Structure 1
Amino acid sequence: MKIALLSYSTKPRGGVIHTLALAEALAELGQDVTVWTLSRGGDTGFFRPVDPRVRLAVVPFPDIGEETVGERILRSIAVLRDAFTPDEFDIVHAQDCISANAVDRCVRTIHHLDQFTTPELAACHERAIVRPFAHLCVSAAVAGEVSDGWGIHPAVIPNGVDADRFAAALPGAWPFGRFVLAVGGIEPRKGTMDLLEAYALLREELPDVRLVIAGGETLFDYRDYRDRWEKRAAELGVEPVVLGPVAHDELPSLFASASVFAFPSTKEGFGMAAMEALAAGIPVVTRDLPVLQEVFGGVARFATDPTGFARELRAALAEPDARREAGRALAARYTWPAAAARHLEFYRSLVV
């Protein structure tokens, strides 16, 4: 089959990671796969090397100063639409709302649902749910939300995870001592403010523990949220380490060096970063959401507020090996070859 996978960015966000891994696994199965994306920030390719069997169509998307989020969303849709060549493909599969709006007919993976106040983004989100002719979700919990909210019944194909890459990682020369790791940057959906409050509580009993936050590539402007977060950190007298984006090859050693992984996201579709932490043998403390109970129940520790996160982080630090083998085994179950095989079966059901 000739398959187009569409993404909105070259940066290391969950949906982009998913797109590349799925493309490579489909190519391994002998499919003709092209990944289409917008080149943001002057990138000429993705954040990591891509299997040469996967074709790449990286559409230039230059920055425009003083552009609002709404204007950037509309321009993103228009630029990708103008460049895309839909007649070349048997399957067009969009992984986000921008790429789903840029094509007239597609399969859509709804990774998670969100609520936006920017009018253009809210409209983009809605159209990207109702317009595609076929739908996938990476968890049953999100599929249930889509069914309840829109009367659409997506098929469920869980994410894969490159478990071997993280399981083989060794601690690196990260100068943080004992530390709590969070990945995803400082933004509302990632629950970073709750994590900050939890860390301040944790430090009252364990003053040697650091908080390290990696990642943060995003299309959106969260400067106001980050300003509030930094102000609150100063009020609490704590100094988290904010690394920003970490190179692809260095990320496994960062996971392997951590003492515990914190995942306080308020909305998720699967929790790929937390699954990578389990593969690395690191205990995970995550927010008590239905989707995360579905994916991590029995392996992770769960909390609902800063006090609970501080308590569970403390417990994970005290017993770091309590669920290590169960976590590794869970991560090993979710493979990209299995996900690709199920995607291919789904695609074939649509074109027969």
Structure 2
Amino acid sequence: MRVSLLTYSTKPRGGVVHTLNLAEALAQAGADVTVWSLARGGDPGFFRPVDPAVTVRLARFDDLEGDTVTDRIVRSIAVLGDEFDSAAADIVHAQDCISANAVGRCIRTIHHLDQFTTPVLAACHEKAIVEPYARICVSSAVAQEVRQGWGFEPTVIPNGVQASRFADAAGDDLESVAACQQWRARLGKYVLAVGGIEPRKGSIDLLDAYALMRRDDPDLQLVFAGGETLFDYRGYRAEFDSRAAELGIAPIVLGPVPDDTLPALVAAAAVFAFPSTKEGFGLAAMEALAAGTPVVARDLPVLREVFGKTVRYAWAVADLASQLTAAMDIDRVRQSAGRELAGGLTWDHAAERHLDFYRSLL
């Protein structure tokens, strides 16, 4: 079976991580897999090496001075569409609204639903839900949103997790201990958020919660990692910076972290903050559980579904602060359950489910 998986970036965003891990597991299961993506700014490849069993095809995408967000999205669709060869696959599977708009007839994984006020982007989002001939969601909660909003019945296939990679980072061997110690020497004791500074990630709420926590623990640091996207959050980032100055705090913003050092960064954190206002699954938080790092998540139905009792939940800023503080006193029962949950979600199983789904459509 020839499978083309499409994503919109070579950077370590959640949907891109999903695409690469799924592609590699599909290839190991015997599928002929090609991953197609935009390569922004002349990127020579993805943020990490890809299994040679997977063919990678990249469409060069250069940022143009004066581009608006709408311009970039429209041009992204055109560039990827011009590069893509639909005749080269039996299954065309898009992982986001940009790639779904670029390729036409396809299967679409709807990781989460967005809300856009710009007409062109709203139309792009709508088309990427309505026009695919089949749909997958990574959680039942998002599938229910699609069912209620559009009347479609997506198939639910949860994410896999590279659990052993993060569990090993928290191990007691000399190399793992040294890697964690390097992060702690650089950052001190820290609250970690992965995914960048943007509205959907609840970054300003976390900033406010951290300011409350520092009253009792002035040496505690707040660290943000990741955050590469086609969307323009400069206004939100300016608001974030203004709020930090008003609160008199200075969070550490690492930006994208090399893939081989990320597990140690996660394992060395005192607590992992996941205050997203919208998610489809929560892969970064599941990786934290695999590392044994306590997690506090926004109290959303989708996260209750995915994580159950393995994490603490909060909604308002004050609750987020108190739960993050409490989580740093590690609950061994919750920690063990989190590791077990993450370890049971494998990409091999996700690939098997996808192949069964593909066969049902051929």
TM-score w.r.t. length of structure 2: 0.96
Count, aligned residues: 351
Structure 1 equivalent of residue 227 of structure 2: 216
CA distance in 2, matches of 1:15, 1:257: 25
Structure 2 equivalent of residue 259 of structure 1: 270
Structure 2 equivalent of residue 100 of structure 1: 100
Aligned-partner SS, 2:93? strand
Structure 2 equivalent of residue 52 of structure 1: 52
Structure 1 equivalent of residue 33 of structure 2: 33
CA distance in 2, matches of 1:102, 1:318: 48
Aligned-partner SS, 2:108? strand
Structure 1 equivalent of residue 286 of structure 2: 275
Aligned-partner SS, 1:196? helix
CA distance in 1, matches of 2:39, 2:53: 20
Is 1:87 the counterpart of 2:87? The answer is: yes
Q: Which moved more, 1:170-179 or 1:3-12?
A: 170-179
CA distance in 2, matches of 1:88, 1:242: 41
CA distance in 2, matches of 1:346, 1:114: 25
Aligned-partner SS, 1:161? coil
CA contact (8 A) 1:10 1:38 kept: yes
Structure 1 equivalent of residue 152 of structure 2: 152
CA distance in 2, matches of 1:172, 1:67: 42
CA contact (8 A) 2:41 2:60 kept: no
What are the ranges of 5 or more consecutive residues in structure 1 without an aligned counterpart?
Answer: none
Alignment of structure 1 residues 1-352 onto 2, 5 Å: 1-169=1-169, 170=176, 171-174=180-183, 175-319=186-330, 321-351=332-362
Aligned-partner SS, 1:268? coil
CA contact (8 A) 1:73 1:120 kept: no
CA distance in 1, matches of 2:8, 2:121: 13
CA distance in 1, matches of 2:190, 2:63: 36
Aligned-partner SS, 1:231? helix
Superposed displacement of residue 11, structure 1: 0.6
CA contact (8 A) 2:213 2:321 kept: yes
- Identity fraction in percent: 66
What are the ranges of 5 or more consecutive residues in structure 2 without an aligned counterpart?
Answer: 170-175
Partner letter of residue 149 of structure 1?
A: G
CA contact (8 A) 1:260 1:320 kept: no
CA distance in 1, matches of 2:358, 2:235: 42
Superposed displacement of residue 207, structure 1: 1.4
TM-score w.r.t. length of structure 1: 0.98
Partner letter of residue 228 of structure 1?
A: E
Superposed displacement of residue 118, structure 1: 2.1
Superposed displacement of residue 48, structure 1: 0.4
CA distance in 2, matches of 1:250, 1:93: 30
CA contact (8 A) 1:39 1:60 kept: yes
Superposed CA RMSD:
0.9
Partner letter of residue 215 of structure 1?
A: G
CA distance in 1, matches of 2:164, 2:107: 29
CA contact (8 A) 2:198 2:233 kept: yes
CA contact (8 A) 1:35 1:56 kept: yes
